[in-house]
Structure 1
């Protein structure tokens, strides 16, 4: 029988070493459960791990503010060629909707994206995927409801004063391009051997490759800088138990803004799903603790029942903004429907 070795201790130590040696300035608007907004993380994730997957997520941020940030995203992705026989390649596709609403000026951004990915088996347990993303976005604002610096008369806010902002338009649209790649190594043989399942996924992506124009002002040449995204996550089955460790690290870099999120989930399987019948479904839960560098601690929880799962995360803000946010960073919740028939066939282990 061929054995596959994964030195996860070394990988996890390197991840931790990296997180503790970097000095980063985190962004304030983001997802804490990035893996459940997959198409905004990496276009190559479309159909990478699911025959079909649907996710809806809501994030409320800085609830102590008069007008807190609100973000909603929903996505559908899956395998477009899952039924093809004698093929090591899988074509995946996905759709993603995103809406962000923030600030006293009621700034709103909405995007609709289409993803296409190709997933290729390169070894017994290894796969490589490449993905492309095209997105149409629209931004809008209502300057009449905001409070502007020029409307303060020296003692207090005076709405009768002009806001001094020369908006060319109260909305604009743009077209965006992105690309990504992932490498996945998954044993997925725990159901027929005594070995604990192990796996690791590594992904890199770049968004706003065409640097789309992004401004309400006609004279402005402001464009969206490229956002680079890197992630590493792993599943480490604990021998002779139904427990799984899931360490992960997510890094985003966009011009001068950098964000680093790292931590670990522990998943406890209460009942394993049957590989012989669909009537016996997996029941499990997970708990996690993550840190967003110099910004927040993140507590996560998740419940699984068959193809359905739901999760919750809460940010405890520890940055300088905590003085006005009262340590209330934000909360996230999501629901997910996930069907994966790709690996339900019997495996021959030589």
Structure 2
């Protein structure tokens, strides 16, 4: 186990040490690990349970502008398939984001499906392939737009046309993502877990423009993810997570670690408390805490801005709250009774 950990930790730290830019086109969360389908649709169903539902809410940059308010909801249902140890997961990702004076609003409805293929009959080792696709709607409040055309002799005149040529203040498009991941248990009594994956988002390159211009197509986004959870002793463990994303000319690296401590029986703890921090390279340091009280988890994090905006933002970035529910269903083929099951 020690040799495995020694090799994994430097890889995650190396991923945090290189970056060209932290600007990205897509919505992102500091608690990225609580929105797995946004990372990679093949991460659906990789948890200990039959069902999972997660909510993440983000409130960003209240200190100097109209805040960005973002919300993510994902739900997953996992069930065995066939006579072996294979599983299939059906999921749903919903996303909402509202930003700026003109209330630029995005709403996403994205069903997902993921197949987990068992690679070993002796330990949890799975290769998962997932797809997610659905509808995205975007809108703005055109009445709040102010342009140069509306100034008459230096004075603002709202009766004048804004000069913009787009007709509709909202539009819709289809969007899709694919991904693959590998996850496995390791170490003494196979109590530790690791995963890594790769995802390709916006595979259909939808037009992202109120003018409906083909030149405004969304750039495809690659996301490379990795994580490891390993025990320190019966009560304590570390959970390390990292993502590297690249989209067009922009890229982003985020990662870090949380230490978890079980209160009560290590097998069925009353509570599990977590504390740690994450780093979004060249942008923010993110302290985070979390508590598990079966079957719920609640997480809190806050971005401390270290980018060029830190003077205007006074170092303040985004607050996030996450709530997770994971449970087993009362059924004969529940994963609760399966020796082999994809989990992290």
Could you state the TM-score of these two structures normalised by the residue count of structure 1?
0.87
1:57-76 to 2 correspondences below 5 Å: 57-76=56-75
Q: What SS class does the counterpart of residue 20 from structure 1 fall into?
A: coil
Check the 8 A contact 1:106/1:146 in 2, yes or no. no
Take 1:103 and 1:265, find their aligned partners in 2: how far apart are those partners? 33
- Measured at CA, do residues 8 and 142 of structure 1 come closer, stay the same or move farther in structure 2, by a change above 3 Å? same
The corresponding residue for 1:116 is 113
Q: What SS class does the counterpart of residue 335 from structure 1 fall into?
A: strand
State whether structure 2 residue 306 is matched by structure 1 residue 332: no
Counterpart of 1:284 (choices 272, 276, 281) is 272
The corresponding residue for 1:34 is 32
Take 2:156 and 2:199, find their aligned partners in 1: how far apart are those partners? 44
Q: What SS class does the counterpart of residue 186 from structure 1 fall into?
A: strand
- Measured at CA, do residues 218 and 90 of structure 1 come closer, stay the same or move farther in structure 2, by a change above 3 Å? closer
Deviation at 1:14, TM superposition (A): 2.1
For residues 111-131 of structure 1, the C-alpha deviation after alignment (integer angstroms, 9 at most, x for no partner) is 101000100110223111000
Take 1:42 and 1:176, find their aligned partners in 2: how far apart are those partners? 14
1:153-168 to 2 correspondences below 5 Å: 159=158, 162-168=161-167
Take 1:149 and 1:65, find their aligned partners in 2: how far apart are those partners? 24
The corresponding residue for 1:259 is 252
- Measured at CA, do residues 307 and 331 of structure 1 come closer, stay the same or move farther in structure 2, by a change above 3 Å? same
Deviation at 1:342, TM superposition (A): 2.6
State whether structure 2 residue 215 is matched by structure 1 residue 221: yes
Unaligned runs of 5+ in 1: 275-279
1:75-86 to 2 correspondences below 5 Å: 75-79=74-78, 81-82=79-80, 84=81, 86=83
Q: Which moved more, 1:281-290 or 1:51-60?
A: 281-290
Check the 8 A contact 1:247/1:264 in 2, yes or no. yes
Q: Which moved more, 1:13-22 or 1:262-271?
A: 13-22
- Measured at CA, do residues 209 and 219 of structure 1 come closer, stay the same or move farther in structure 2, by a change above 3 Å? closer
The corresponding residue for 1:24 is 21
Q: What SS class does the counterpart of residue 7 from structure 1 fall into?
A: helix
The corresponding residue for 1:277 is none
Take 1:97 and 1:7, find their aligned partners in 2: how far apart are those partners? 36
For residues 198-242 of structure 1, the C-alpha deviation after alignment (integer angstroms, 9 at most, x for no partner) is 211101101110111221114553111111111111001013x41
For residues 22-60 of structure 1, the C-alpha deviation after alignment (integer angstroms, 9 at most, x for no partner) is 333333852001111111111112222231001111100
Deviation at 1:324, TM superposition (A): 1.7
Take 2:111 and 2:288, find their aligned partners in 1: how far apart are those partners? 29
Take 1:167 and 1:201, find their aligned partners in 2: how far apart are those partners? 45
Q: What SS class does the counterpart of residue 221 from structure 1 fall into?
A: helix
The corresponding residue for 1:316 is 304
- Measured at CA, do residues 316 and 152 of structure 1 come closer, stay the same or move farther in structure 2, by a change above 3 Å? farther
Q: Which moved more, 1:156-165 or 1:331-340?
A: 156-165
- Measured at CA, do residues 172 and 264 of structure 1 come closer, stay the same or move farther in structure 2, by a change above 3 Å? same
Identify the structure with bigger relative contact order (alpha carbons < 8 Å, sequence gap 6+).
2
Q: What SS class does the counterpart of residue 94 from structure 2 fall into?
A: strand
The corresponding residue for 2:173 is 174
Aligned length: 331
Check the 8 A contact 2:224/2:245 in 1, yes or no. yes
Q: What SS class does the counterpart of residue 214 from structure 1 fall into?
A: coil
Counterpart of 1:106 (choices 72, 90, 103) is 103
For residues 108-159 of structure 1, the C-alpha deviation after alignment (integer angstroms, 9 at most, x for no partner) is 0101010001001102231110001112111011122133455567978664
